[in-house]
């Protein structure tokens, strides 16, 4: 996946055929109010429908929108207690 440090700097990660042959994916992190990673949202689609430039565009859009979202920090206590969201 095009993630790691480069993915963190961009705000999203991409994958083409790395997990599933013929599939592309893009994903971005969801953070809490304190900036800690709490989840990820991703899209998977047929690679032939999404050339690298389109995947890059989708990554920018998803990363930008999710960077505006902040989950409440108190969700961490419900995770520890086993409560569902």
Residue 34 confidence (pLDDT) above 80: yes
> Which CATH number is 44's domain given?
3.30.450.40
Chain centroid to CA 84: 21
Distance CA 28, CA 85 (A): 20
Residue 78 lies in a domain: no
pLDDT of 69: 87
Residue of 20, 38, 18, 19 lying closest to 28 (CA atoms): 38
85 within domain boundaries? no
The position carrying tokens 């969801």 is 30
Whether the per-residue pLDDT at 85 is higher than 90: the answer is: no
Domains: count for the chain: 1
pTM above 0.85, yes or no: no
Asked if residue 79 belongs to a domain, the reply is no
- The tens digit of pLDDT for each residue in 61-73 reads 999 999 898 888 8
Domain containing residue 30 = 4-72
């Amino acid at each position: 996946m095009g993630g790691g440090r480069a993915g963190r700097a961009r705000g999203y990660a991409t994958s083409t055929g790395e997990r599933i042959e013929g599939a592309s994916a893009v994903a971005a992190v969801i953070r809490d109010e304190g900036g800690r990673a709490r989840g990820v949202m991703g899209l998977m689609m047929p690679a032939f429908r999404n050339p690298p430039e389109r995947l890059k565009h989708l990554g920018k859009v998803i990363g930008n929108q999710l960077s505006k979202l902040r989950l409440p920090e108190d969700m961490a206590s419900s995770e520890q207690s086993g409560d569902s969201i």
